[in-house]
Amino acid sequence: MQDDNSHLEISEADASRIKALKAGSAQVWRETLAFFGPGLLGYATRMLGDKSTAEEVVQDALVNIYRTIDRFDGRCSLKSWLYRAVRNRAIDEIRRQKRFVDVGEDPEKDFFNAAGDWNDDCFEWDGRAAKELDKKRLLSLVHKEINNLPHAHREVLLLKEIECLEKQEICAALEISAGNLRIRIHRARTALKAAIGYELAKEL
């Protein structure tokens, strides 16, 4: 279906860059690292919570891409491929540290009771609480709570809200359909809203 495969398109610019990388162009490789490197490192740092570990993860992922560039088949953008490589390597590290939390098919069940309410009697986040905090503190709280979310929630919010990837790029990076992405984003935002509301309730 078109909805599920739109992320497989590749731009002419990407095609040209990939061709040069496969041909062994050191200059294009340096340009690629300079352009995508900071974003990849920021993403890995937020995933792992430690910049030093993130640097190692990104380096490992990029080395692997350099060695396997010939396998790139053009079914997604280069950006998506890079983020996928870093994401997979980051998950390996998270699992190695035994911090990976699989929320399964219905991640909301860990946050809400049968009636759909927050399990810990969360304060309703209806805008009144947000007014009690300035924008800077609220933004800091949002970033903090994103980092505390289970991995499946955190990664979609990081890619969409922090790294600002297009939906097609996120689909390709996570190897999921557009419909699946919409569900994940909805569940992640719901979980984040509940977590923030819970924290705000403790301050009021």
The answer to whether the predicted template modeling score (pTM) of the entire model surpasses 0.95 is no
Instruction: Note whether 90 and 111 are same-domain residues.
Output: no
Q: How many domains does the chain have?
A: 2
In a domain, 102, yes or no: no
**Same structural domain for residues 61 and 9?**
yes
Q: What is the pLDDT along the chain (204 residues), one digit of tens a residue?
A: 334 444 445 678 888 889 999 998 999 999 999 999 999 999 999 888 889 999 999 999 999 998 899 888 878 888 999 999 999 999 888 888 765 444 444 444 444 444 444 444 444 444 555 455 455 666 677 777 887 788 888 888 889 888 889 999 999 898 889 889 999 888 888 888 888 777 766 765
Contacts of 161 (CB under 8 A, 6+ apart): 146
- What is the C-alpha separation between 82 and 12, in angstroms, rounded? 17
Task: Report residue 2 CA to chain centroid gap.
Answer: 23
Q: What is the 3-state secondary structure (H, E, C) of 135-179?
A: HHHHHHHHHHHHHHCCHHHHHHHHHHHHCCCCHHHHHHHHCCCHH
**What angle in degrees, to the nearest 10, is found between the helix axes of 167-174 and 178-203?**
100
Alpha-carbon span 165 to 81, nearest angstrom: 12
Same domain for 39 and 116? no
Domain boundary among 52, 73, 96: 96
Give the range of the structural domain holding residue 129, as residue numbers without chain letter: 107-203
- Residue 161 falls inside a structural domain: yes
